[in-house]
């Protein structure tokens, strides 16, 4: 059975494969959210950040200014998106399962923002909303939706 280190040694997908994955993921999440209401529609804005955060992590992995230790964390964040079984498995809960992936990605990005100049991180951001607004909105301690998730509680432990 392969371990995480074996996956980290594999080359990243090509730029075209990354863009294809990004577009498919965003389309899938938007279609899923269009059919939802209530609590799911309220957390949907966070789920929609999944493709943007995944794209940011993959771009940071290629940035020569990011040190090896930080790239290890970035690689773990990328792998978390692909993990078949995590706190909220997509296979069981659909695109809503990306919410824990978003929380993990934001934790990693927040750590990088504390280590590197913001410009280094922001130049890879493809989202429509300002990166710092996204990070603040998801990690804000008063966020009643994200903090109820197992991954949100786990990240909160690391942040304190």
In a domain, residue 155? The reply is: yes
In a domain, residue 146? The reply is: yes
Number of structural domains, the chain? 1
pLDDT digits (tens, 9 = 90+) for 3-28: 556 656 677 667 777 667 777 777 77
Q: What is the pTM of this model?
A: 0.68
Nearest to 109 by CA among 147, 44, 149, 59: 59
In a domain, residue 4? The reply is: no
In a domain, residue 97? The reply is: yes
CA dist., res. 14 & res. 31, Å (int): 26
* Domain of 60, in residue numbers: 15-159
pLDDT digits (tens, 9 = 90+) for 83-136: 766 666 565 556 666 778 888 888 899 889 999 999 999 999 988 778 888 888
- Do 149 and 87 touch, CB atoms closer than 8 A? yes
- Do 99 and 146 touch, CB atoms closer than 8 A? yes
In a domain, residue 5? The reply is: no
In a domain, residue 9? The reply is: no
CA dist., res. 63 & res. 86, Å (int): 27
């Amino acid at each position: 059975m392969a371990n995480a280190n074996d996956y980290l040694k594999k080359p990243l997908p090509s730029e075209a494969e990354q863009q294809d994955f990004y577009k498919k993921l965003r389309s899938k999440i938007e279609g899923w959210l269009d059919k939802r209401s209530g609590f799911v529609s309220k957390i949907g804005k966070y789920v929609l950040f999944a493709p943007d955060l995944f794209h940011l992590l993959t771009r940071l992995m290629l940035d020569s200014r990011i040190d090896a230790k930080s790239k290890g964390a970035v690689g773990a964040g990328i792998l978390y998106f692909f993990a078949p079984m995590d706190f909220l498995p997509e296979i069981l809960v659909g695109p809503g399962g990306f919410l824990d992936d978003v929380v993990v990605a934001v934790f990693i990005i927040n750590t990088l923002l504390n280590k590197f100049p913001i410009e280094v991180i922001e130049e890879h951001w493809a989202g429509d909303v300002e990166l710092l607004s996204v990070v603040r909105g998801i990690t804000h301690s008063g966020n009643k939706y994200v903090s109820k998730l197992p991954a949100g509680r786990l990240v909160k432990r690391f942040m304190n």
